[in-house]
Amino acid sequence: MKRYELLYILPATLTEEETTPIATKVTELLQQNGCQISQEVAMEKRHLAYPIKQQRYGYYRLVEFSAEPEVTAKLNDALRLSQEILRHIIVEKPIKSQVTLDREQALRDRLAARRQQHAETAPVEGKPSPAISAEELDQKLSKILEESAEL
Would you state the pLDDT for residue 98?
Answer: 86
CATH superfamily of this structure's domain 2-92: Ribosomal protein S6/Translation elongation factor EF1B (3.30.70.60)
Per-residue pLDDT of 35-67, as tens digits, reads 999 999 988 899 999 999 999 999 999 999 999
- Residue 96 confidence class, pLDDT cut points 50, 70, 90: confident
Q: Are 19 and 10 in contact (CB under 8 A)?
A: yes
Cα separation, 38 vs 64, in Å, equals 6
State the average pLDDT for the chain.
88
pLDDT attached to residue 123: 62
